[in-house]
Amino acid sequence: MTKSLNVKFEKGVRLLVEHFPVSDESSRKPVLFHDIRVGTYLYNHDYSEDIVLAGLLHDAIEFSSATEEILKAEFGDNVVKLVLANTKDDSIQDKHEKTAELIQRCADNGQDALIVKTADILDSFKWYASQDSVEQLKYCMRNANAIFKYKKDEFDDKIFHELDPWKKRFANLTE
Residue 120 lies in a domain: yes
For 15-77, give the secondary structure using H, E and C.
HHHHHCCCCCCCCCCCHHHHHHHHHHHHHHCCCCHHHHHHHHHCCHHHHCCCCHHHHHHHHCH
CA separation for the pair 39, 47 (Å, rounded)? 10
CATH code of the domain covering residue 138: 1.10.3210.10
Q: What is the pLDDT of residues 45-97, one digit of tens each?
A: 999 999 999 999 999 999 999 999 999 999 999 999 999 999 999 999 999 99
Q: What is the pLDDT of residue 100?
A: 98
Q: Is residue 165 part of a domain?
A: yes
The parent domain of residue 133 ranges over 3-169
Burial class of 56 by CB neighbour count within 10 A (0 to 12, 13 to 18, 19+): buried
Please name the residues in contact with 3: beta carbons below 8 A apart, sequence gap of 6 or more.
none
CA-to-CA distance for 49 and 40, rounded, in angstroms?
11
- Residue 140 within any structural domain of the chain: yes
Rounded distance between C-alpha atoms, residue 152 and residue 64, angstroms: 31
pTM greater than 0.85 (yes/no): yes
